[in-house]
């Protein structure tokens, strides 16, 4: 992870790497995860900007993070079973 919380690199299980044969799929996974993170971050920033003064945001920031982590975990788990 980078200082701003974005995925910088990903380490894949050796079994997965044997089936892939190159770094290209891992690089594509990192790019997809970064795009998802940036999209989620953009949505959070838009909603925060739209919230009035002392109003609470219309969502739970912790929940947003947990959902993104769940997607990442499920994706990596499915990939490792290939």
Averaged pLDDT for residues 22-46:
76
pLDDT band, very low/low/confident/very high, at 38 (cuts 50, 70, 90): confident
DSSP track, 56-77: PPSS-HHHHHHHHHHHHHHHHH
Residue spans of the domains in the chain: they are 14-80
Q: For residue range 39-58, what is the model confidence (pLDDT) as tens digits? A: 877 777 777 777 766 666 66
pTM of the model: 0.43
Contact assessment for residue 42 and residue 3, using Cβ atoms and an 8 Å cutoff: no
């Amino acid at each position: 992870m980078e200082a701003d919380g974005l995925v910088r690199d990903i380490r894949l299980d050796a079994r997965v790497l044997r089936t892939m044969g190159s770094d290209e799929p891992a690089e594509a996974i990192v790019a997809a995860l970064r795009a998802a993170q940036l999209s989620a971050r953009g949505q959070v920033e838009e909603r925060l900007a739209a919230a009035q003064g002392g109003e609470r945001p219309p969502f739970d920031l912790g929940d947003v993070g947990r959902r993104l982590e769940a997607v990442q975990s499920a994706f990596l788990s499915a990939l490792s079973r290939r």
